[in-house]
Structure 1
């Protein structure tokens, strides 16, 4: 019984290491990208991609032989000397989790060309702007990951300048934001903590906004 418990704990720890080691790559459309295995590889290597719980094998490489498992008429996918997966001229549909021999290696996010990219420290406030071609006098609809962003004490949509303000951002707020269905900003929230004084200031602003409402 004790051996079984230890085995389960070992599997759990190894699983955590694999997840923690996964690399997150963000690139724009039409760029090329090389996705490396994050563990030593010997013999054959099979690359797969997982999206929404569905996994598809892409190619297998071993020695001088490369075998493709999916249709690739434009020959955009190939392997490099170190068995990394090379994708030429990526598209948004190439986004997903890439696995090397069934181990998660790279989380690839492909964003539309010329999308604004913003990096913000954790627990700070950021303001996102709609694209210039979003016109009209209506209040824009902001969305992320296919879901509409709802206003609350932490989130505010300006009716005047069409901006989205996120207060006290966290890593889970990272991602591609759309304004009226058009790509607006890709936000990356860094894990670095702000000072206690900065956190107090953020909370003061939220309290003030709640009182104003």
Structure 2
């Protein structure tokens, strides 16, 4: 069944041309999301999601009907008239790279509701805090992308671990930070003009990040 694009609140993700980077969209869970194909398409369209190198087909738009490839008891997945993918009440598990006919359309990150969101210019210093009942253990552990964060020249963890400070943040520092395994802060690092001295420190910071991976 098609969804009337004017009948509900949606989050639009802009398409990108062949030479542009894949669009990255961050939304909170339970929102309605619409993902258009990067380019106009004719004929059948298959939408897929890739997560950690594993790809799964979601549905194929065949004429005026949707053919589902995964169980969808809640009918959360459907298509619009322009063959965009419509996801009703997204969940954290909906995160991943979405492909339209095998072409990357958008990288979607779904974060838990009420997660703190912080935007910081590149090369600045940011401090992330555990909030609410997060960080209840004696010594708090911070992690990102499934890896525990270790203190170094650019990363400082306060005594007890309730605060995480990162200096000279880089775009690679963007992402969802966990405090004792619970979502704490989603950090977005924006590009900014910097001095030669700052660029040198950025290069050192980036090199260190590569060595840590």
1:123-174 Cα distance to aligned partner (Å, 9 max, x none):
1111000122135573311000110001000000011671100110111101
1:77-97 Cα distance to aligned partner (Å, 9 max, x none):
000111110000011111111
Do the aligned residues in 2 keep the contact of 1:48 with 1:102 (CA within 8 Å)?
yes
List gaps (5 residues or longer) in structure 2: 1-16, 206-213
Q: How many residues align?
A: 186
Once residues 194 and 23 of structure 1 are traced to their aligned partners in structure 2, the CA distance between those partners, rounded to angstroms, is 24
- 2:80 aligned residue: 80
- 1:67 aligned residue: 67
TM-superposed CA distance for 1:19, in Å, is: 7.2
Structure 2 length as normaliser, TM-score?
A: 0.80
1:159-195 Cα distance to aligned partner (Å, 9 max, x none):
1671100110111101000111111000011122334
- 1:169 aligned residue: 169
- 2:8 aligned residue: none
Bigger CA drift: 129-138 or 49-58?
129-138
List gaps (5 residues or longer) in structure 1: 1-16, 207-213
Tell me the secondary structure at the aligned position of residue 119 of structure 1: strand
Once residues 160 and 119 of structure 1 are traced to their aligned partners in structure 2, the CA distance between those partners, rounded to angstroms, is 25
- 1:131 aligned residue: 131
Q: 1:19 to 1:106 in 2, by over 3 A?
A: farther
Q: 1:188 to 1:72 in 2, by over 3 A?
A: same
Tell me the secondary structure at the aligned position of residue 20 of structure 2: helix
Q: 1:25 to 1:127 in 2, by over 3 A?
A: same
Once residues 178 and 129 of structure 1 are traced to their aligned partners in structure 2, the CA distance between those partners, rounded to angstroms, is 10
Do the aligned residues in 2 keep the contact of 1:48 with 1:55 (CA within 8 Å)?
yes
Structure 1 length as normaliser, TM-score?
A: 0.80
For residues 19-38 of structure 1, the aligned pairs below 5 Å read: 20-38=20-38
Tell me the secondary structure at the aligned position of residue 83 of structure 2: coil
Q: 1:135 to 1:169 in 2, by over 3 A?
A: closer
